[in-house]
Amino acid sequence: MAKKFFIWTVILLVVGCITYVIVFISVISSTHREIVEVKYPQLNESIYLKNEKRGLNYEMTAISTSSRKKIENGNDKSFKYKSGETIFYKSMNDTLLVYTMNKVGYPAKFKSKVYIKQIVISNPEFIELRNKYKEIGLSKFPE
């Protein structure tokens, strides 16, 4: 009787470990991408807000003219927020207003008729915007 209990215990432990490893590997290797198109019909152009999450600790948010979901590494054509930062934004005429806690440099090869204006906000301002961004006509990305 004790042998059967021991064998079943070992079998359950092995199955549990295998299941844990499979789930852990799938979480680490998964990639989630989100993209939002901001249209400027008067300029016949669009700007794309992108967010990419990979594994347990990689996240990046980007502003680009490319409609590809993948954020291209190593190019100078996108605004890249490496911490996957949440941004608040609003489209006005030929400008995309971006409210961010971390301003990034204007990419050297960013070609667009749309001007990207980054407005740096403090942590308390960020918390306040998070609570009332819709009331003041802003959108949040990523959702």
Task: Render pLDDT for 16-75 as a digit per residue (tens, 0 to 9).
Answer: 888 887 777 766 667 899 999 999 999 999 999 999 998 888 899 999 999 998 888 777
Banded pLDDT at 123 (limits 50, 70, 90):
very high
pLDDT at 111: 94
Query: How many angstroms separate the CA atoms of 86 and 143, rounded?
Result: 8
Query: How many angstroms separate the CA atoms of 100 and 89, rounded?
Result: 9
Global confidence as pTM: 0.79
Per-domain residue ranges of the chain: 29-141
Interval 132-141 mean pLDDT? 96
pLDDT at 57: 84
pLDDT at 18: 85
At 71-85, the pLDDT tens digits run 887 778 999 998 888
